[in-house]
Amino acid sequence: MRYIPRPPQNPTRICDRCNLQTPKDSTDCIHCSNLSDIGLHDMLQKHQEQLEANKKLAHFFIIAAIIISILMYITTF
């Protein structure tokens, strides 16, 4: 298999306003620079909801992997 190097990632910084990562070389945050305070609140709330949904999905996959592993172990006997 041939090794294909990954391209270098752009350096990022944490935005002081929304605490999300944004490119280091940009002067404005790509997430919140054009949002009002209400828009920022809504965006952060949706972001938090998405993180919670991802956590639930991860738990589902872990449980599914455990069940499949147990079933595979049982069927080997």
Q: What is the pLDDT of residue 1?
A: 65
| Residue ranges per structural domain of the chain | 1-34, 36-77
Return the H-helix or E-strand segment holding 46.
Answer: helix 37-75
What 8-state DSSP symbol labels residue 28?
S
Stretch 5-16: mean pLDDT, rounded?
85
The Cα 66–Cα 72 span in angstroms is: 10
Mean pLDDT (the chain) is 91
Pair of tokens at residue 7: 């391209």
Q: How confident is the model at residue 53 (pLDDT cuts 50, 70, 90)?
A: very high
Q: The pTM is what?
A: 0.63
Stretch 44-61: mean pLDDT, rounded?
95
Task: Please check whether residue 31 is in contact with residue 22, taking contact to mean a CB–CB distance below 8 angstroms.
Answer: yes
Checking if the pLDDT of 29 tops 90, the result is: yes
Task: Please check whether residue 28 is in contact with residue 15, taking contact to mean a CB–CB distance below 8 angstroms.
Answer: no
Task: Please check whether residue 32 is in contact with residue 19, taking contact to mean a CB–CB distance below 8 angstroms.
Answer: no
Name the least confident of 2-6, 21-25, 35-39: 2-6
